[in-house]
Amino acid sequence: MNKIVPNFDEAVSDISDGAMLMIDGFAGPGGTAQNLIRALRDHGARDLTIISNTAGLASVMGFGTLPGDRPIDIGILVDNEQVNKVIASFPVSPSPSRPTSFERAYLEGKVELEVVPQGTLAERIRAGGAGIPAFYTPTGVGTQIAEGKEIREFDGREYAMERSLKADFALLRANVADTLGNTTYRGTSQNFNGVMATAASVTIIEVDEIVEPGGIDAERVDTPSIYVDRVVARNSGE
């Protein structure tokens, strides 16, 4: 089954108001799904909940932006008043003098925030993809992170219950994909992209290069085609 979509606008055209999205992004090489994010802004879906490692650092710090790319992140969705809530591990800029769009909106009471420790965020997403509704972790016990959560003791240590995360859509950046949707990632994109692809009802991949089936060594496939629904080439808008 050929999963190639001709352009970014078509790829995001069925994202509706109130959707929950997982959007990639991690400090370092690999990049983010910049063209998909831009297309989503133009599409205009509102009241979105976004799950991401950061709440938009590329626009102020360049994190996750490849050389020659214009820094684009979820900040443009926040600026366009499309975001209702963000679930993230790093919601603030490391530089107080350069706040992100999300920080400004949060301080003005325009968006909600749920802070999740990074390892817990990855596991909540992985659990969502694996069909596991919840799990226990000692991370955050005794802090605001665990407030209101079920606490249980195992082997003399307290653990907080965390619910899994699933999304309606995942917008991800990849290095190479074939026309069937088998995908490889570059650099730190391997950290969250793989689990996000499994935890979304619809996974949309923005890819640097598209090859024919067999063009990717089977041992190099990071996300199998079964988890990928749409593939869009980065040069499709050129």
Tokens for 187, please give them: 């650099």
Q: Which tens digits make up the pLDDT trace of 31-65?
A: 789 899 999 999 999 999 999 998 876 666 655 55
pTM, 2 dp = 0.92
Neighbours of 85 (CB within 10 A): 14
For the chain, the domains span 8-136+163-237
Q: What is the pLDDT of residue 11?
A: 98
Strands 134-137 and 151-154: unpaired
Residues in the chain: 238
Q: CA separation (Å) from 57 to 12, 37, 68, 88, 211? A: 23, 14, 17, 12, 31
Rounded to the nearest integer, the mean pLDDT of the chain is: 91
In 138-198, beta strands by DSSP E: 151-154, 157-163, 167-178, 183-184
84's enclosing H/E stretch is strand 83-88
Q: State yes or no: pLDDT of 237 exceeds 70.
A: no
CATH H-level, domain 8-136+163-237: superfamily: Glutaconate Coenzyme A-transferase (3.40.1080.10)
